[in-house]
Amino acid sequence: MWKLSVLAAFALSAPAQQPQVAPLNDPQALVLYERCLQLIEASGVASAELGRASLPLAENMRQSVDSLKFLGMRNPQLHYRYMMNLRAFLLLSDTLPRPATFPEMAKQQLAELRDSLLRIEIYYQRQIEQLQNDLRSPDRDALKRYAAANVQLPPPAAKSARIVFYGDSITDGWRLNEYFPGRDFVNRGISGQITGQMLGRFYADVIALKPAAFLLLAGTNDIARGVDPAAIQNNILMMCDLADTHKIKVILAGILPVSDHHKGANPSYERTRQRPIPAILEMNKWLQAFCEKRGYTYLNYYPAMAGADGQLAPNLADDGLHPNPTGYRIMAPLALAAIEKALGPPTPQPAARKRRLF
């Protein structure tokens, strides 16, 4: 596997002055990668010799694209492999003799490939810079996100149990006050986080808030980034151990299903490549067994959120991953039932005694 230092060295060795071109985002890069493969195939029709010689290069590029779709776009070694094979193809096209009848259209396709290579190189350099910034970040776990809000949060009221909803973007985007009015439910989700980052901020964003319980919904980003399941489980176990030590009840939610139903609107909405349904179900199986072993409450969102095909029902999310208001309306009563199971139903307050007048 390519080391980050090697990749960074390559990026730094690139020419300092480059023409100004619009930077690619991840979905655009994936579309461009597919386009380059089409152009390579077309140029092989114009030159049989080039087509034969470039077969292994095109296959390497195709495998890189498939891996990026499955593992996610934050894999610089795959981008590097794609880029090097595209560069090798262009070198071949310059080296091999062209037929006398080499068509003008093929020349234009090769020119487009050269322009695409430049855009891919710039995109790759940005990826390396982002990775280096992430590694150097003094706030890897985003402790600053809720630092001010935690200071301003009043102590929990005696008559209302505080619950911390903890997780990633699915939690972050949930307007708890709309779905649970009048409850001391505190949102401490951060978009894009994996369980290791949640563990890193667990004291500041959960323990220090002195909740009666915390509800964890996490793991989908870990799966998308290829984190070892054992590492995910270890992070969750340590958060639970900390909660037990501080007498905080634990509610573990199963990971939501994802879907490909909306990929027609945006290719990046093809979610099952990065988050395979079997991987989600396997992690949920572990979560449920872990809850049974520890005596925790397991919150099973999956059956209520999945359609007949086992994927996230198309009406419950507009991008195949994040619930929309309809999805949250299904999740809310399930979460409330799990909270009441963990804490017990609220104790009814005795009616005020009427004062007798004599």
Instruction: Give the pTM.
Output: 0.66
* Model pLDDT, residue 132: 78
Taking the C-alpha atoms of residue 149 and residue 139, their distance in angstroms, rounded to an integer, is: 17
Taking the C-alpha atoms of residue 243 and residue 82, their distance in angstroms, rounded to an integer, is: 45
Residue in this structure with the two tokens 């949250």, named with its chain if needed: 328
Give residue-wise pLDDT tens across range 10-20: 444 444 444 55
Q: The tokens of 223 are what?
A: 């799966």
* Model pLDDT, residue 6: 43
Long-range CB pairs of 106-115, under 8 A, 24+ apart, other chains included: 106/42, 106/43, 106/46, 106/47, 109/39, 109/42, 109/43, 109/46, 110/39, 110/43, 112/39, 113/36, 113/39, 113/40, 113/43, 113/86, 113/89, 114/90
Residue in this structure with the two tokens 């930077």, named with its chain if needed: 23
* Model pLDDT, residue 12: 42
Give the max Cα distance, the chain.
Answer: 118
Q: Would the CA dihedral through 149, 155, 158, 163 be positive or negative?
A: positive
Residues of the chain short of pLDDT 70, as ranges, are: 1-21, 135, 345-358
3 state SS of 221: helix
Q: The tokens of 279 are what?
A: 């991987």
**DSSP one-letter code for 348:** P
CB atoms within 10 A of CB 285: 11
* Model pLDDT, residue 44: 77
249-253 and 297-299 strand pairing: parallel
Yes or no: say if 190 and 129 are a contact pair by the CB < 8 Å rule: no
* Model pLDDT, residue 13: 43
Of the candidates 273, 238, 246, 272, the one whose C-alpha atom is nearest the C-alpha of residue 258 is: 272
The DSSP string of 286-325 is HHHHHHHHHTPEEE--HHHHB-TTSSBPGGGBSSSSSB-H
* Model pLDDT, residue 35: 95
List of residues 6+ apart from 201 with CB closer than 8 A = 141, 142, 143
* Model pLDDT, residue 251: 98
